[in-house]
Amino acid sequence: MNIRLLSIFFFLMVHVSAAFGWHDETHLSVAKAAGYYKWYNAAGADITKTKAGNIEMYNHFFDNQENDEVTPEIVLKQAERYNNPNDPSGHLYGAIISSLREYTGQTISGKYAEYHIAFCAHYIGDLSQPLHNTSYDDFNKTHHGINDGIVEDEVLSNTEKIKKNMYQINLRRDSFEDDLAKEIARTANQARKLGRTLKKENRDMTKEEAYIQLGHSASLLKAVLTHLGKKTE
Instruction: Concatenate the DSSP letters of all residues of 186-219 into one string.
Output: HHHHHHHHHHHHHHHHT-PPPHHHHHHHHHHHHH
* Whole-number pLDDT of residue 21: 82
Q: How much is the average pLDDT of 12-39?
A: 81
The residues, ordered by sequence, that sit 6+ positions from 196 with a Cβ below 8 Å of its Cβ are 67, 134
* Whole-number pLDDT of residue 11: 39
Helix (H, G, I), strand (E, B) or coil at 125: helix
* Separation of alpha carbons 182 and 200, rounded Å: 27
Q: Determine if the pTM surpasses 0.85.
A: yes
CA distances from 154 to 112, 129, 164 (A): 33, 17, 16
The residues, ordered by sequence, that sit 6+ positions from 109 with a Cβ below 8 Å of its Cβ are none
Give the tens place of pLDDT for each residue, 114-167: 999 999 999 999 999 999 999 999 999 999 999 999 999 999 999 999 999 999
pLDDT exceeds cutoff 50 at 1 = no
Question: Which domains can be identified in the chain, with CATH numbers?
Answer: 31-228 (1.10.575)
pLDDT exceeds cutoff 50 at 17 = no
The residues, ordered by sequence, that sit 6+ positions from 223 with a Cβ below 8 Å of its Cβ are 168, 169, 170, 171, 183
Sorting pLDDT into bands at 50, 70 and 90, what band is 89?
Answer: very high
Q: Which amino acid is at 4?
A: R
Helix (H, G, I), strand (E, B) or coil at 232: strand
pLDDT exceeds cutoff 60 at 205 = yes
pLDDT exceeds cutoff 80 at 6 = no
CA distances from 205 to 29, 106, 126, 128 (A): 18, 39, 15, 12
